[in-house]
Amino acid sequence: WLSGCDGEAGCGMLVANEPDPARAAKLRANLLRAGLLNCMVISADGRDLGGLAQAQFDGVLIDAPCSCEGNARKDAFALLRAMAPSSDGDLVEEQWDLLRSGWEALRPGGCLVYSTCTINRHENEAVCRRLMDFAGEGCCTSRRLDVASLLGVPTDMVGDLETLRLWPHASTQKASSLRASSSPWRPLSATNTH
């Protein structure tokens, strides 16, 4: 979300990125159908956006690609596929690259939300912990948002690192994980890498 108007109500633009052009066209149609005119849909590699638009966004939502364990309710084989040996390390690296890019695109005081539809810790808490280790003191002292209260879900669904876990047996949602932070400091430069 780009405000670009010093807090003026109704001002700003939603920039949505979907790297797959066919999915981007569907996303654009859905946004227009919903009546959202102050939006722009782009098709780029999200791992590059932080370097291209450093400290430009008031809000960044990363709906990261994941192993999709959260789809077990609608696809009985989702858990089996998630547990099968694969290029899981590549997926976690892509998630990390997306999260780091999102953090770099975030303005001071902005809000970053990292979300997956999986329930395993190495795709959720471990990726968030890596950002905290990478960013050092600035990230660790960032103001974490009370997502459970904002969404009206029980606080016992909040796990490590204040990650909200939605379990399929305890909510009407598919299993997923969500963490939100606010950045009070200047995001990292692209030269600070791990």
Mean pLDDT of 81-100: 78
* Annotated catalytic residue, options 66, 117, 128, 139: 117
pLDDT for the residue 169: 60
Which of 45-59, 93-107, 113-127, 132-146 is the least confident region? Answer: 132-146
Q: Would you state the structure tokens that stand for residue 112, as one six-digit string?
A: 């970053």
Mean pLDDT of 61-68: 86
Mean pLDDT of 68-74: 64
Query: Does residue 46 register a pLDDT over 80?
Result: yes
pLDDT for the residue 186: 42
> Is pLDDT larger for residue 44 or for residue 137?
44
Average pLDDT, the chain: 76
Active site residue 117: yes
- Above pLDDT 70, what percent of the chain? 56
Query: Does residue 42 register a pLDDT over 60?
Result: yes
Give the dihedral sign, CA 5/11/16/21: negative
Highest-confidence range of 16-20, 36-40, 164-168, 187-191, by mean pLDDT?
Answer: 16-20
Highest-confidence range of 35-39, 40-44, 121-125, 155-159, by mean pLDDT?
Answer: 40-44
Residue with tokens 């102050």: 38
Instruction: Give 109-162 as a DSSP string.
Output: EEEEEEEES---GGGTHHHHHHHHHHHTHHHHTSEEP-HHHHHT--GGGB-GGG
Give the dihedral sign, CA 128/133/139/144: positive
CA dist 160 and 142 (Å) reads 16
